[in-house]
Structure 1
Amino acid sequence: MKIGIVGCGLNCDYHVSFSREYPGAEIVGLVDKDESKIDRCTQRFGIGRGFAAIRDLIGEAGPDVTHIVTPPHTHFDLASQAIEAGCHVLVEKPMCLSLSEGEQLFSLAESRGVKLCAMHNHFFDPCMLRAREIVESGRLGRVVGVESHYGLNTRIDAFRRYPKPGVLPWLYGLPGGVFHDFMPHPLYVMLPYLGRVEDVLVTEKSMGELPQGISDELRVLVKGRDALGTLTLSFAAKPHHHFVKIYGTKMMVHVNFDTMTTVLHPVSSLPKAAQKATYNLGEAWQLGAGTLKNVRDFGTGRLRPYQGMKTLIHRFYEAVETGGEPPVSKDEALGVLEVMDRIWPQVKNTRLSFEPIVPRESGEGPMVLVTGASGFLGSRLVEMLCGRGYRVRALVRKLSNIERLKRLPVEITYGDVGGLETLQPAFDGVEYVVHAAADTAGREEESETANVQGTRNVIDLCRGHGVKRLVYISSCSVYGTADYAENQVVTEDAGLERFPEQRGIYSLAKLRAENLVREAMRQAEVPIVCLRPGTIFGPGGEIFTPMMGFSLGNRVFAVIGPGDFVLPLVYIDNLCDAVITSIESDRGDYDVFNVVDPGGVTKREYMDALVRKLYPGARVVYIPRSMLGGVVRLQERLAAALKIKPFLTGYRLESSQKRIVYDSSKFERVYGWKPTFTLAEGMEIVLNREEAPDRAVETGAAVQDIRLEPVEPARPASGRG
């Protein structure tokens, strides 16, 4: 049996793996319009041929069965082409976007004499198969109701990763918005037990998990001829559970897809008091036995992640070979689409708006454009600029959290520094630009686009629009710290990183971006100030940074190296004040400056003053750098053997933990500037804010503080002006 797979995204791996495990199945080609994805998949799986279009796969490789593993809005067209060519087709959920499309596909498949099946994989998970057997045997009695719950983490790429600058993930464009792609899962495990659907009622709510307050919680009540169904699709509730409960007249069956267990709760004739114990004991026994069985089956290879997908794929192949019925029937597939068609008109709050938000009132000062305005630094800078009387335009990406910015007298405009066409409108009427946008996720392509191409675009537009001054936020990671002597004082003239690729994707991109900035300085076409801040801390920011070490939740904090290591910290308000100072004066044009708070705080002092007080029950462990270095070297060797990138390199560890002292005296000397807050005061502000986030705090202490009138710095540090 010749197999073709269309789509080289996330689920492609499972389809390839499970297809190959079927006796006699041969994958004859992969299809994806992204050539890089085809190359990666064909090389990874040793598949000889890759194609850019399904017609090429069909014409040249002639598959008997085609898997459609692409975004839902492409399913109808791709499945139609495969069916027209005489291929049997297995389509990922949702099979298509509407009942009408589904009916057309089945009609076409019947006319061509081929089989069509939807990927309702969880219905074939072992835990669900057991529940189905219990219901079909009559042990459950008459089904009275079904409760189906599906929770999902919205921090995954499907919700957050932009395919290219300014382009949303395809989830947001489906008829049911972000709910659409996931709705089949809780529906197809529920509907078979309800009978013919008579009514569908929907309610929705936003808990703030998704951008612009679009709905992240959905509840659906389905009235069937035989039973009632309640469906929950939740993105906000944590932890993210996935289960179904089937209630009958003789027992209740609880299927947990996360733990792959099935628990039965039959009717008991024991006294109510006794049932309080037997219920828990019975559940504990079943969970324990089920867990041990799963461990055994995983160890022997009889149970795999996405086991239901494997079962469904193999049953579909058997149906193709024997002429039997597909594992998911036409009625089951269309039933899911029919209910989804009845759900979406009742869901109102799924669309994002990208019209600029213009405040009714704003400052009277010059217009400042801030890129990366929704970030930790950018949002606080916007607040402080508003407080100094500037008019501010905040540039944010389409999926940014803008709730904090919306409370300010600031213009919010959508764009992406990596895409010139989306960025250009933001420069109209701008006098000053602060380029604070940066990608820190660590993916090479995104980092190159956002950090390098984004900086190039900003410089070009500043030049073209006659911007008076660009303040570029660089990073101390551009310094070649591995080459420095212990306790070396690092000024702006110190050597830059010679091996940035060994420091990591972010460091490499920031150095390349700063090279563009320094080249623009040499050409002197745009006045530019380049700031290299230390590790930024403040209210709302990360408390325990990677430079410190790593943590297990908030229970154990593992600090790398000795406690007397001095951290290169800068309090966020001090950095924002330095940025505003750079805007207001031409003294530092065409120059580079370190911005690190003087005095220094050791790791132990930081842990004692802040982390231990915020998490008094936590354990703090100091790990010798030499010990961690040995583990890192071992990990590097293992990664090399497996031909994967190491999680951490020895070079990166050495660079981040080198004892050096950053010198910011040049900025203070050139601008006549002093930081407003000492490090001790900054840590006290963070402590007060984190301990009591809901109570009012004084002006300088609150990340949420808004100062609308021009003011002097709120509270000078003792002895400094």
Structure 2
Amino acid sequence: MAETRVGLVGAGYIASWHADALRATRSVELSAVCDPSASAAQGFADAYGVQSFTDLDEMLAAGAVDAVHILTPPQLHHPLAMKCINAGLHVLVEKPVALNADETREIAEAAKARGVQFTAGHNFLGLPSYQRLKTALAEGRLGRISTAEITWAFPFAPLRAGPFGIWPLRESRNLLLELGPHLYAFLIDLFGPAEILHVETGKEIALPGGGTRPQSWRIIARAGGVDVTLTLSLVETHDDRSVLLRGSSGMARLDYANDTLVIARPNASDLVLNPLRAELAQSWAHLREGARNAARQLASLNQKSPYGLSFRGLCAETYGAIRTGRAPDARFSGDSAVKVMAAIDATLARLRPDPDLPRPKGRPKPDVMVIGGTGFIGRALTRALVARGHDVRVLSRGTSGPFDDIANHVETVSASLYDEDALRDAMRGITHVYNLAKSLDTTWEAALENDVGVSLRIARAARDAGVKRLIYTGTIASYDMSDPHQTITEETGFGPLEARNIYARSKAESERQLMDMHGAGIEIVIARPGIVVGHGGPLQHWGIGRWHGAGAVRIWGHGRNILPFVLIDDCAEALVRMIEVEEAAGQSFNLVGEPMLSARGYFEAIHRALGARIRVSPGPLWVFCAADAVKYQLKTRILRRKGLTRASFKDWKSRAHFSPFDNSRPKAVLGWRPETDRARFVEQAITRANLMGF
């Protein structure tokens, strides 16, 4: 039988998970990708060796696919699914399948009428452990189920650190539409149609620009005679994504984030041995599940992670049904998708609508542009510029930003960073441009295009548009910070970069080429922020260590050396001064605050200020380096990945920030005065920073 050719509509983060699962699916060929961003589509196409399109009609007209996975923002799911179904294609639609049950029902009915398959992307139902849970239920091992708890307790970082313009944050209801299908899919598949009895939200968080969003949801439902509690908790919390079933003969806990299933059943021992046997049984079950996962991931070189397995299960069932001509499994059927969305509709009907917020009247007259203005530093900089009397044009991927309260001074526009003409047009009338954009690439060739190339394109567009000064944010990570006896100033060279991590190397190369342009029609200033902390920043800051959830971190090195922290407000103040001080032109500035805290001191301060004891482990840098070397060999020799580089041991030592910084230049040239009082620093960096989200 011929292979089913599959195209992906949308080349964002989730696309790679679908692509890898499709590659592992029998009788399937990943053949095309479509995304309105030419760079995103081409980058994905190059990585997977498929055709790229920027227009869905062109992909359909080319006859390149037999089925599509729709991976776009949710508001586009319904119209795109209908177009593909009408073209005679099978469709798999990411969750939420649509914005309501009516749209979902229309998709399902159109697919049935056209004779094609419609699959809902409820991927966690494809996990092996979930199949084992259903088998246990069918065999009666849990007895009659009385209550169930379905939980998603996992931090949703954009609520605290942005980006705030993304679809899930535009309305409170979008949060449930984005994450709720995971929970409701379990509910519907296990127990059938649900009656929603009660909805309660809490832990409201204020968004920049106005408005609040709930970070906790508690939903009481009843389905198939079972009392069900659904919980969403999006603050910084211990990861608990689970399904807990209590029955007359036993209790089961499915950890769907880790693909483990533990079943507790009563034993017939006497009073003394009963608890011992019960605990030993639980211990054995946990050991068995952990060993099974570890062995599977080791044997597959982590290609079969729990999350990856969930997509493999989804794709295997979807294309198995297409290959054999049978109806799709009920887990992923259109009927199931309609029931899931109906339950979400019933929940949202009980949700208090977001209030309409007043917007300031007046039209901005921007003289400054901030590229990346919706990010952590960009938001603070934009507000600092407005406070200083500037109107700001924010260049962002979307056309909305977290500035509704100052909308008379800020406008948000969208232009591709790969379109020099569009960039130049967006900069007309602008006197100063801040480039805060960054790209996280895995190969040097990609970094040259997506980081260095974009930086130069922005600079050329600014020069040709008559911009006076461009401020570019590099990174202190470009320095070799491995020597505790070397004090770093702006005169310190970066040293050899070939064996450095790609981000540090590409930022340094961008700086070098930009400074070659200084004085040739445009002024260039380089800013290198340190470890930026404060309100709006993340708890899980990877400049400090490698995080394992909100409660554990493995710090880079021993963690006793002072780190180059800088408060977000101090950083923004220095950036503003870079367009106010004429002498700043052609110079670089390391924006590092006064010596304050080590990594260990930082986490001790969190404990004292917030009462949260984060588990801190020292990270021997030679262990990190050795593990990285092994991964590099496996990726290049076994998985045959091309273009990868490996950082040196000195680069790993650099991540610990052993070298101290001298911040004399920004203080002397810019008149910058970063915070000097330790108590006030801790208050702004930790106490008032809302690190936990509540």
- Name the TM-score, length of structure 2 as normaliser: 0.69
Residue by residue, what CA displacement relative to the aligned partner does 1:103-160 show, whole Å, maximum 9, x if unpaired?
3333333333444332333223222112212222333333323221124443489x96
Q: State which of 586, 592, 601 in structure 1 corresponds to 2:587.
A: 592
Counterpart code for 2:336: E
2:326 equivalent among 315, 324, 327: 324
In structure 2, the CA distance between the partners of 1:90 and 1:619, relative to structure 1 (3 Å rule), is closer
Instruction: Report % sequence identity.
Output: 17
2:121 alignment counterpart: 119
Provide the residue aligned with 1:693 in structure 2. Answer: 687
The one of the two structures with greater contact order (alpha-carbon pairs below 8 A, sep at least 6) is 2
Q: Distance in 1 between matches of 2:197 and 2:572?
A: 53
Describe the SS at the equivalent of 1:287: helix
For 1:267 and 1:237, locate their aligned partners in 2 and report how far apart those are by CA, in whole Å.
Answer: 35
Cα–Cα, structure 1 residues 22 and 631, in superposed 2: closer, same or farther, change >3 Å?
closer
Q: CA deviation at 1:232?
A: 1.8
CA contact (8 A) 1:197 1:222 kept: yes
In structure 1, what residue type is equivalent to 2:7? V
Post-superposition offset of 1:248: 2.6
Shift in Å, 1:327 = 0.6
What residue number does 2:279 align with? Answer: 280
Q: Which residue number in structure 2 is paired with residue 413 of structure 1? A: 410
Q: Is the 8 A contact 1:149 1:231 kept in 2?
A: yes
Tell me the equivalent position of 2:181: 184
User: Which residue pairs with 1:109 in the alignment?
Assistant: 111
Residue in 2 aligned with 1:266? 265
Structure 1 residues 399, 177: closer, same or farther in 2, change over 3 A?
Answer: farther
CA distance in 2, matches of 1:315, 1:334: 19
Seen in structure 2, the aligned counterparts of structure 1 residues 181 and 550 have a Cα distance that, compared at 3 Å, is: closer
Aligned to 1:340, the other structure's residue is in SS state helix
Aligned to 2:346: 342
Structure 2 counterpart SS, 1:180: helix
CA distance in 2, matches of 1:316, 1:544: 37
Distance in 2 separating the partners of 1:382 and 1:279: 59
- CA gap of 1:210–1:261, structure 2 versus 1, over 3 A, is farther
Q: Which one is further off, 645-654 or 140-149?
A: 645-654
Deviations 1:261-295 (A, max 9, x none): 22223356678887655543332222222333344
- Give yes or no for contact 2:392–2:409 (8 Å, CA) kept in 1: yes
Offset at 1:186?
A: 1.0
Question: 1:221: which partner in 2?
Answer: 220
Residue type of the alignment partner of 2:279:
N
Code of the aligned partner of 2:150: S
Q: Secondary structure at the match of 1:682?
A: coil
Give the CA deviation at 1:497: 9.1
Which residue among 672, 676, 688 is the counterpart of 1:682? 676
Q: Could you say if the C-alpha distance between residues 652 and 438 of structure 1 is closer, same or farther in structure 2, counting changes exceeding 3 Å?
A: farther
3-state DSSP class of the match of 2:229?
strand
Say if 1:638 and 1:250 are closer, same or farther in 2 by CA, change over 3 A: closer
Q: Does the 8 A contact of 2:261 with 2:289 survive in 1?
A: yes
Equivalence map 1:119-518=2 (5 Å): 119-155=121-157, 168-172=165-169, 176-208=173-205, 212-224=211-223, 226-266=225-265, 277-298=276-297, 305=306, 306-328=308-330, 329-348=333-352, 355=359, 391=389, 413=410, 415=412, 438-440=436-438, 442=440, 472=471, 504-505=502-503, 508=506, 512=510
Worse-superposed segment, 256-265 or 97-106: 97-106
Task: Please give the alpha-carbon distance, in whole angstroms, between the structure 2 residues aligned to 1:370 and 1:154.
Answer: 29
Change (3 A) 1:54 1:27: farther
**Distance in 1 (alpha carbons) for counterparts of 2:13 and 2:666:** 50
SS of the residue 1:346 aligns to:
coil
Q: Is the 8 A contact 1:543 1:611 kept in 2?
A: no
CA distance in 1, matches of 2:304, 2:626: 36
Distance 1:448 1:145, change over 3 A: farther
The residue that corresponds to 2:611 in the other structure is none
Relative to structure 1, is the Cα distance of residues 530 and 141 closer, same or farther in structure 2, using a 3 angstrom cutoff?
Answer: closer
Q: Verify the 8 A CA contact 2:108 2:334 in the aligned structure 1.
A: yes
Aligned-CA RMSD value: 6.0
Distance 1:636 1:351, change over 3 A: farther
**Deviation digits for residues 162-210 of structure 1, max 9, x if unmatched?**
9xxxxx4444569941331332221121124444434453232344397
Write the distance in 1 (CA, Å) between the matches of 2:178 and 2:261.
Answer: 26
Supply the distance in 2 between the matched residues of 1:691 and 1:46 (Cα, whole angstroms): 45
Once the two structures are superposed, the pairs formed by residues 629-644 of structure 1 within 5 Å of their partners are 642-644=641-643
Aligned length: 645
* Distance in structure 2 (CA, Å) of the matches to 1:153 and 1:46: 34
Amino acid at match of 2:134: R
Q: CA deviation at 1:569?
A: 8.5
Task: Report what 1:32 is aligned to.
Answer: 34
1:165: which partner in 2?
Answer: none
Question: 2:15, 2:207 → 1: CA distance?
Answer: 27
TM-score, with structure 1 as normaliser: 0.67
SS in 1 for 2:110: helix
* Mean CA deviation greater in 325-334 or 11-20: 11-20
Q: Distance in 1 between matches of 2:30 and 2:620?
A: 54
Could you give the per-residue CA deviations for residues 469-515 of structure 1, whole angstroms, max 9, x where no partner exists? x7947658699999xxx9799777x9899989978556755775797
Shift of 1:257: 1.0
> In the superposition, relative to structure 1, how do residues 43 and 411 fare at CA in structure 2: closer, same or farther (>3 Å)?
closer
Letter of the structure 1 residue corresponding to residue 437 of structure 2: D
CA distance in 2, matches of 1:207, 1:127: 34
Deviations 1:79-110 (A, max 9, x none): 43444454444443333333223333333333
Q: Does structure 1 conserve the Cα–Cα contact (< 8 Å) formed by 2:25 and 2:312?
A: no
Distance 1:171 1:651, change over 3 A: same
- What is the alpha-carbon distance in structure 2 between the residues aligned to residue 135 and residue 545 of structure 1? 42
Structure 1 unaligned runs (5+)? 163-167, 359-366, 696-721
SS at match of 1:222: strand
In 1, the alpha carbon distance for the partners of 2:78 and 2:113 equals 16
Change (3 A) 1:311 1:538: closer
How many angstroms apart in 2 are the aligned matches of 1:547 and 1:330? 45
| Structure 1 pair 576–108 and aligned structure 2 pair: CA distance change class (3 A) | closer
Question: Residue 413 of structure 1 aligns to which amino acid in structure 2?
Answer: V
Distance 1:233 1:592 in 2: 48
Kept after mapping to 2: 8 A contact 1:503/1:655: no
Match of 1:92 among 91, 94, 99: 94
Residues 175, 344 of structure 1: 8 Å contact kept: no
Amino acid at match of 1:103: R
Q: CA deviation at 1:226?
A: 2.2
Amino acid in the other structure paired with 1:127: S
Return the alpha-carbon distance in structure 2 between the equivalents of residues 90 and 572 of structure 1. 43
- Separation in 1, partners of 2:111, 2:33: 21
**Cα distance between partner residues in 2 of 1:510 and 1:31:** 33
Go from structure 1 to structure 2 and tell me whether the alpha carbon gap of 1:140 and 1:506 turns closer, same or farther (over 3 Å shift): same
One-letter identity of the residue aligned with 2:410: T
Q: Deviations over 1:380-431 (max 9, x none)?
A: 8899999xx955768777899979x98xx99873536978999999999x9x
Q: Distance in 1 between matches of 2:528 and 2:567?
A: 10
Corresponding residue number in structure 2 for 1:708 = none
Distance 1:223 1:521, change over 3 A: same
